[in-house]
Amino acid sequence: MPATNRKAAPQRETYHHNDLQTAVVARAVQLISERGGPAFSLRELATSLGVSHSAVYRHFADKDALLESVTALGFEEMGRYQQAAMTRADETPLGQLNALCAAYLDFAREQRGYFALMFHAYPISDATASARDLHNADALDTLVATIRAAQDTGDVIPGDPERLAAYLVLAPHGLASFQAQGHVPAFIARQDPGPLSSDWLARLALQPLLTAPMTPDQIARHFFS
């Protein structure tokens, strides 16, 4: 036998795998995360689960269908990042805004694979598009409420909160998009006096909306005390 040029399939003793569907998605998530995108073959995925590649087609119409499932999980995960940011942030609305931006950037950095599927795929599938709209509807409520609160405390400039929210999404998304690609342009990266941190980047995006933006001096003192 030519035997194993791939890692030996973990032999299972039962003929049926009992929850192959879940196992396939889980492994796909893992592979995508490891490789920063859907750079795996169905065959290697199936083999690594000790299953023939055609078994996968019992559970997913094709590879795209599998990727859509994974993408949907990505939006859920992103929602969890957002919620965690809200609960973990200090109590000021401005702190929360900062945490929300930072969470977006953390997600793009830590979950490259998900981010690529969610935002760097073309053409975007209908399923992904509606998953995104659903996520946005939720996320927007939180964001707008937080902006309103930050306006009430006088930290954020006046204006229609939903409009400000639109700005506040675009800049972090732009940054996240660079970040996800693994190469933040130098002239942006050097806005950060230290190693790139999400908190820093979030602050950068937020500055234009602040009634009292920090001076470079203040920033240096605040972060490198």
Partner DNA sequence: GGCCTATGTGACCATTGGTAACAATGTGAC
Partner DNA sequence: GTCACATTGTTACCAATGGTCACATAGGCC
Give the footprint of DNA on this chain (CB under 7 A). Answer: 5, 14-18, 20, 40-44, 46, 50-55, 57-59, 61-64
Cis peptide before 158 (omega within 30 of 0): no
47-to-15, 190, 213 alpha-carbon distances in Å: 15, 45, 54
Q: What distance in Å separates the CA atoms of residue 151 and residue 156, rounded to the nearest whole number?
A: 5
Nearer to its own copies, 47 or 82 (CB): 82
Picked from DNA, its own copies, none, the partner binding residue 223 (CB below 5 to 8 A depending on kind) is: none
Shortest distance (Å) from residue 102 CB to its own copies = 14
* Binds its own copies (CB under 8 A): choice among 2, 4, 187, 217: 187
Q: For residue 210, which amino acid is it?
A: L
Longest dimension (CA), the chain: 73
Sequence-distant (≥ 6) Cβ neighbours of residue 161 within 8 angstroms: 144, 147, 148, 151
Which residues 111-150 are close enough to bind its own copies by CB under 8 A? 112, 116, 119-124, 129, 132-133, 136, 140
Task: Kindly list the residues in this chain that would bind its own copies in the complex (CB under 8 A).
Answer: 36-37, 112, 116, 119-124, 129, 132-133, 136, 140, 157, 159-160, 162-167, 169-178, 180-183, 185-188, 191, 204-205, 207-209, 213, 216
